[in-house]
């Protein structure tokens, strides 16, 4: 079985395993106690904090360890907003942030705050000028991920940090996906990360709050971790997390070159091997191991099951794998195809032969799913200048498949009106039009659902 989902959770690094086992015997005691066992535990914790600070590029007393990366984000956002409450109650985030940031923003809105969500381009990147335009006199905090978790696009953090610093607004960076590859550049103010993204154990997050940033920890305060992460520290897991961070950093430069070559091979060959595929994300400014593509006329969940049976563990951001049955917010913000979405995130040390075997297996897997769903064959006869396709009650990609089947049945200049009540159609039909060179006219209200109007161009 080939595990290609390291962006979700990287396999435990051998160094992490060794450090975890070794520290179980020394790091079990309370580091706040003054007796021998407590002092040993404190030494391990302090050493881990110093090493983490060195890897991040900050002071040791700016680092706290949290029970998860999500908790680090929630604590960082809430504390920074509370600390600057007198300045105002305005928060800026990008439209493609991790759900932990977006959930924090939603909670802030529910409490009466105001949130500006900065749009991204089709590659998934923000424009620093958009952050500059969003800044206001009452802006308390801005958030920006260092790199996107779904498509791998690297964000212009240094440029946005400069804009925010000039306006006196702190910038919180979610560095979960990138910290294993190197420190985050720029004059940022707060940073959050998660150990299981770089091969450390799960249940360890990292929160950095620079000196001089106004910060008021929320909830009941504890004497541990500067009051920002209550509860007894999991010292063996923390030691293992930091040890693995140092280990992957030592290997990062060489491994990045190798993984970039493998992901570029996937980016290049997938469109050659599989028809009607859109490779998404920035082609240049991207993390080394992530490549994402979407396949027309394919149910994402069905394709993932096919690849799983073929021996590959991959993930998807498509609507078909979401418990909410809505498109990935990242793909939606980018305006790209969401159906049949596959994210391949290669772990460190992956064999080239496994990538080649994936490329061999993928075409038949996609073809099999398309055949089961009744993907369109070329249309021939022209019947009317406008056709209505009733796809109510059907989940994407079925509405898109039915559109593709009949687009050739109207003359050039004719229209097809697709009726759908699946939220994913709002993203997938315009994306299909762009891929197929047809004109997306827009959407109109209908008795049930929405009517999506497409004009045939060719």
Q: Which residues pair with 87 in a beta bridge?
A: none
d(CA 141, CA 126): 17
Q: Which helix (DSSP H) or strand (DSSP E) does residue 450 occupy?
A: strand 450-455
320 flagged as catalytic: yes
Nearest to 39 by CA among 49, 27, 48, 31: 31
283: number of Cβ within 10 Å: 11
CB-count burial class (<10 Å; 0-12, 13-18, 19+) for 82: middle
d(CA 147, CA 319): 22
Is-cis flag, bond preceding 279, omega within 30?
Answer: no
Contacts of 253 (CB under 8 A, 6+ apart): none
d(CA 316, CA 304): 8
Contacts of 401 (CB under 8 A, 6+ apart): 297, 373, 374, 375, 376
Tokens of 111: 């409490």
What is the spatial order of strands in the sheet that 114-118 belongs to?
63-66, 205-209, 190-194, 171-174, 139-145, 90-94, 114-118
Distance of CA 358 to CAs 134, 259, 370, Å? 43, 15, 18
Q: From the candidates 143, 164, 320, 433, give the one annotated as an active-site residue.
A: 320
CB-count burial class (<10 Å; 0-12, 13-18, 19+) for 386: exposed
d(CA 127, CA 183): 21
Nearest to 89 by CA among 116, 63, 62, 52: 116
Catalytically annotated residues: 320
């Amino acid at each position: 079985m080939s595990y290609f989902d390291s962006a979700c959770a990287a396999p435990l690094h051998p160094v992490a395993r060794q450090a975890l086992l070794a520290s179980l015997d020394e790091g079990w005691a309370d580091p706040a106690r003054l007796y021998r066992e407590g002092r040993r535990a404190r030494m391990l914790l302090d050493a881990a904090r110093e090493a983490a600070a060195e890897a991040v590029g900050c002071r040791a007393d700016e680092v706290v360890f949290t029970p998860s990366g999500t908790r680090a984000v929630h604590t960082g956002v809430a504390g920074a907003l509370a600390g600057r409450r007198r300045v105002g109650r305005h928060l800026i985030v990008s439209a493609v942030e991790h759900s932990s940031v977006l959930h924090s923003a939603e909670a802030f809105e529910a409490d009466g705050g105001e949130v500006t969500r900065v749009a991204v381009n089709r590659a998934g990147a923000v424009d620093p000028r958009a952050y500059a335009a969003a800044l206001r006199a009452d802006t308390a905090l801005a958030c920006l991920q260092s790199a996107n978790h779904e498509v791998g696009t690297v964000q212009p953090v240094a440029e946005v940090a400069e804009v925010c610093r000039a306006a006196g607004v702190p910038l919180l960076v979610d560095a979960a996906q990138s910290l294993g590859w190197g420190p985050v550049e720029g004059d940022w103010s707060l940073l959050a990360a998660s150990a299981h993204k770089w091969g450390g154990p799960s249940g360890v997050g990292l929160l950095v709050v620079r000196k001089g940033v106004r910060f008021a920890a929320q909830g009941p305060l504890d004497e541990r971790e500067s009051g920002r992460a209550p509860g007894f520290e999991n010292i063996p897991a923390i030691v293992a997390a930091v040890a693995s961070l140092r280990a992957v950093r030592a290997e990062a430069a060489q491994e990045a070159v190798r993984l970039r070559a493998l992901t570029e091979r996937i980016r290049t060959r997938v469109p050659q091997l599989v028809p009607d595929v859109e490779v998404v994300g920035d082609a240049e400014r991207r993390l080394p191991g992530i490549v994402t593509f979407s396949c027309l006329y394919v149910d994402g969940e069905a394709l993932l099951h096919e690849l799983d049976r073929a021996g590959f563990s991959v993930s998807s951001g498509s609507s078909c794998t979401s418990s909410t049955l809505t498109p990935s917010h990242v793909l939606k913000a980018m305006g790209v195809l969401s159906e049949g979405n596959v994210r391949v995130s290669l772990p460190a040390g992956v064999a080239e032969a496994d990538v080649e075997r994936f490329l061999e297996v993928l075409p038949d897997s996609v073809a099999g799913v398309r055949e089961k769903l009744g993907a369109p064959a070329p249309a021939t006869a022209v019947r009317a200048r406008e056709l209505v396709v009733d796809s109510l009650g059907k989940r994407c990609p079925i509405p898109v498949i039915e559109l593709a089947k009949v687009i050739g049945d109207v003359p050039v200049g004719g229209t097809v009106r697709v009726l759908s009540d699946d939220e994913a159609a709002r993203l997938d039909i315009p994306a299909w039009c762009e891929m197929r060179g047809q004109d997306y006219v827009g959407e109109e209200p209908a008795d049930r659902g929405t009517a999506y109007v497409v004009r045939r161009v060719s």
